[in-house]
Structure 1
C-alpha cells in the first residue's frame, strides 16, 4: 500500500464505490475524476479516495468534496470531469448536481425540490427501540 504525503493538498474528493454507486457508473466516474485531475496536473492539490456506501444510494454516484463538505450526485463521467474542472474555473455550474452543503456547521439539502428526503436517522433509531 502507498502512503501519500498530503502536505499542500487543497481538496479531498471522496468517491462512493458502494454497490449502488458501482451499478450507476461508479468505476467509470472514479476513473474519469482521476483522469481529469491528472490531465490538469492537479495531483498535488486534489487527493481522491474510494469509499464504501455513503448512505445516499438514490443519488448514486455520490461524490463528496472537502474542505467544503459539498455532496454531489454525479450521474455521468462528464459531470465528474466538470467537478474537477470547477476547481480551476468558477464559471462551471454544478448546482443541479449539488445535493448537500454545510451551512452554519450543519448539513442542509440544497435542491430541496429535487432532493430525495431519505430516512431520518433519529426516527429509525426510535423504531428499533
Structure 2
C-alpha cells in the first residue's frame, strides 16, 4: 500500500463514489479531476480520495474540498478545469457549491435541498407527518 507524502498538500478532494454518484458518472468525474491535476503537475499539492456515500445523493455527483470544507453538487467531468481553477485561486466554484463551512457550521447555498436531520427524534416526527 502506498503512503503518500502529504507535507505539501493544500487541498484534499473527496470524490463520492457511492452508488447514486456512480450511476451519475462519478468514475468519469474522478478520472477527469485526476487527469486535470496531473496535467497541471499539481499532484504534490492536491490529493484526491474516492469515498463511499457522503449522504447527499440528491446532489450527485458530490465532491468535498478540505481543509476549506466546501461541498459541491452536480459536478460533471467537464467541470474539472473550472473546479481546479477555483482550488488554485483558493475560491469556491460558486456555480456548483452546495455547502460552505462558515465558523461553527455549514451554510447552505440557495436552492440546495435541505436534507433529512440525523436526529432520530426529528426523523421520526418527519416520517409521521409524511
TM-score range, shorter chain: 0.7 to 0.9
Q: Are the aligned partners of 2:11 and 2:87 in contact in 1 as well (CA < 8 Å)? A: no
TM-score normalised per structure 1? 0.88
Give ranges in structure 1 of 5+ residues lacking alignment: none
Aligned length: 123
Q: Which runs of 4+ in 1 moved over 4 A?
A: none
Contact 1:24 1:75 in 2 (8 A): no
TM-score (norm 2): 0.87
Q: Deviations over 1:104-124 (max 9, x none)?
A: 12011022xx201111112xx
Distance 1:75 1:51 in 2: 15
Aligned: 1:115 with 2:130:
no
Alignment of 1:31-46 (within 5 A): 31-46=31-46
Structure 2, unaligned stretches of length 5 or more? 126-130
Aligned twin of 2:128:
none
The alignment's C-alpha RMSD in Å is 1.8
In 1: Cα distance, 2:89 partner to 2:107 partner? 25
